[in-house]
Copies of this chain bind each other. A is one copy, B any other.
């Protein structure tokens, strides 16, 4: 059963977590998180495709390549991006301090940072912060860890899920942050997933890479792709299921569970987009391919005119069909049908006659589904997004206000 905002990364057996205040965030809120597994975990990850990848991304890629990990150390308030050799040294130092405190090796520690670009990490604050976090590691520490990685998020995103594999209870849990700078084609923002499933590293990476395509890569808040994003999963095998080493039924059960975790967290991120007042689900059907369907859905999700219309509760289907038309894939207006909720607003080349009152009810709801049937095939894709409000401008143009 999928559960939101629950035990998170300490739900699976053998994992502990903590979050502490180290003085990195100007607000004084918690800003260093550590997640630890008592038994070595196989580890998989997907990372930002931004050419300007931050130092912690480089460090963590190497850890994933090594195949196993014992811990994740993360900070908010400083992205350690565009910081040159000093940034690499600092990221490695974060791993080294954490490793020493835990009695593991530095390349057993995943490193993540989020916050302002172009500023060096205050290592004088990082060191005591990491040490304090390790001391506070506990089996109920997921909420504290989740709160220590958020930035402009209004809340921490967390979830957990229990399934059964070869007669054994297997648990998965996750915490995530992400609100602005969110864009497809990548591992979006920070998400840490823990599980006690027994699985080999190759299949864990395969499962994650596939699931990310239909979850994290299907959300868009503002079309900006961060320099620091990563999704990391650690599997420590303590569920004692028959280890998954082939793509058998157990693998499929695990993939399905991982998908539920990632999709749920992705939707939470889109819902908590900077300044969001609406949660938009954009479902494109009748497409010749998943890629085409995704292109159309993203074109609609990223249109500032569509986003401001939904903020204004204005049923402006013209802006939606316009964004479909310029998406750059095959589109025949005379075969296209667009619905807001259950109400057809555009029907094969022309506006549809609809019940104004019923449509107003759809537009006034918080969750709105935009369905677009291309009439060209059998493939589909669903993207989750949000509206564009005054608050988004305020959050990101705050110097001015």
A residues with a Cβ closer than 8 A to B are 49-53, 79, 81-84, 116-119, 180-181, 183, 222-227, 302-305, 308-309, 311-314, 317-319, 321-326, 330-333, 346, 349-351, 388-390, 392-394, 396-401
Checking B79, B119, B326, B389 against A397 with a beta-carbon cut-off of 8 angstroms, the contacting residue is B389
- A82-B346, A180-B305, A312-B398 known; A319-B117 Cβ under 8 A: yes
Chain B contacts of A390 at CB under 8 A? 390, 393-394
Q: How many chain copies?
A: 2
Residue contact A322 to B225, C-beta cutoff 8 Å = yes
- A181-B305, A304-B396, A305-B180 known; A52-B350 Cβ under 8 A: no
Q: Looking across the interface, which residue of chain B has its beta carbon closest to that of A401? A: B312
In the complex, what's the smallest C-beta–C-beta distance from A336 to chain B, in angstroms? 8
Residue contact B308 to A393, C-beta cutoff 8 Å = yes
Chain B contacts of A226 at CB under 8 A? 322
Residue contact B321 to A399, C-beta cutoff 8 Å = no
The majority secondary structure among interface residues of chain A is loop
Instruction: Give 18 A-B contacts (CB < 8 Å), ordered by A residue.
Output: A50-B326, A52-B333, A79-B318, A81-B322, A82-B318, A82-B321, A82-B346, A117-B321, A118-B317, A224-B304, A224-B319, A227-B325, A308-B393, A309-B397, A312-B396, A312-B400, A313-B400, A314-B399
Residue contact A51 to B331, C-beta cutoff 8 Å = yes
In the complex, what's the smallest C-beta–C-beta distance from A397 to chain B, in angstroms? 3
Residue contact A322 to B397, C-beta cutoff 8 Å = no
Q: Looking across the interface, which residue of chain B has its beta carbon closest to that of A314? A: B399
Residue contact A308 to B396, C-beta cutoff 8 Å = yes
